[in-house]
Every structure is written in C-alpha cells, then in structure tokens.
Amino acid sequence: MKYTHVIFDLDGTLLNTIDDLADAGNHVCGERGWPVHTVAEYKLMVGNGIPKLVERFAPPGTDGETLAAALAEFSTYYAAHSEDKTAPYPGVPEALAALKEAGVHMAVLSNKADAIAGPVVEHYFPGLFKAVQGALPGVPTKPDPTLLRRLMERLGASSESTLFVGDSGVDVQTGKNGGLAVCGVLWGFRDRAELETAGADRFASTAEELRQIILE
C-alpha cells in the first residue's frame, strides 16, 4: 500500500453541499435586497470558510458590521437546512468503506467550523474517519498548513505515506504546504485546470479511481 493515511477535504470532495450553501446564501441576499447568485457562481465562492463566503456573496464594499450580521443570518439558516439537498458524491461511501477495510487511516480537514464539521462527517460517513478537523477561532484556515500538521500529529502520519485529497486549488496548496502528495478530484466545485495550475500530482474522475490510486 502506497498511502497508509489519507486526509480528505469535505465540501466538493466527499459531500456535494453546494445547493444548500447556495440556498442559504440566496436566502440572506433575498432578505437584504441584495442580488442573488447562481449555483455555478457559488462554486467559485466557497473553499475559504463561511465568513469568506458571506463576504463574497455580499455586494462589494459591504461594511464589517453588516457582514457580521449577514454571517449570523446565514449560519442560522444553513444550520436548519444543511441537509436539504446535501449528499455524498456517487461511489464515495463505498470507496471509503473499502479503504477502511484495507487498513487505510482516514481523516477530514475542512474550512467548516470545527463544531459543525465533525457532526456532519459522522452523520454521512459514520465510523469511517479516525479524526475530523474543522476551522478553529484564531487559527489560520487552509491553505495554511497549521491545522493539517496538527491533524497529522494526531494520526501519527508521515508526509511520505500520506495523501491529501481535494477538489480545489486551496486544497492542493494546503497539501503542498504540508509537504504532501495531492490527488485532485474532478467531480467537485472546481475544474481540472485550477487543480493542474495549483500543482496536483494525480487526478481522479471517480471514487473508484481514487480508491485505486490510494491502494496502488
């Protein structure tokens, strides 16, 4: 087995969350009289955490106090509707189960708030991950490698035998900043060109292809 440990991004990699995120964003926009956005536009806004998402869907020049209020509104709405349309990508639960059966140690690193990320992962993928690390107050988020390194320490993972898996340039940069090989998945929110530009080492078009890359 080439990789004994694999660290996954969450949104756009394991779970297709974009419709619920877009609905929550457009709910806030509608309530405030702001222009709404398409799902395709939201795919380009996500990846750097919810506060940054709110900043991106708000009109340019929105002041900090208004952004903070919009963030609170988004968080309340999303908490109540985060499972309306969200689902694992095709084949992902089966591939994860096969990897665990093969002895691969798996974890999740997300820019979702830590208090949210853990329950979300356990809800959709019960018992499959050894650890989940979300965003923490006062700690830089991906692509900064601080939380990645903490997670690897918790897992006892070495850089040589760990693969980072994600769907965006932010994910590729995170893995590279942590000294890891990175596999970009092509079913997520961003395209192959972004992953290539960021320097992904491998690419997977399906969950089964990803399983084969990990176990090769």
In the structure encoding, which two tokens stand for residue 136, read together? 């923490």
- Active-site choice (9, 11, 20, 171): 9
Q: Where are the alpha helices (DSSP H) in the chain?
A: 18-32, 39-45, 50-57, 64-81, 92-101, 114-124, 146-155, 169-177, 192-198, 207-215
Q: How far apart are CA 8 and CA 108, in angstroms?
A: 5
Active site residue 9: yes
* Angle separating helix axes 92-101 and 207-215, nearest 10 degrees: 20
CA dihedral 44, 143, 9, 152 (to 10 degrees): 180
In the structure encoding, which two tokens stand for residue 199, read together? 């320097």
Active site residues: 9
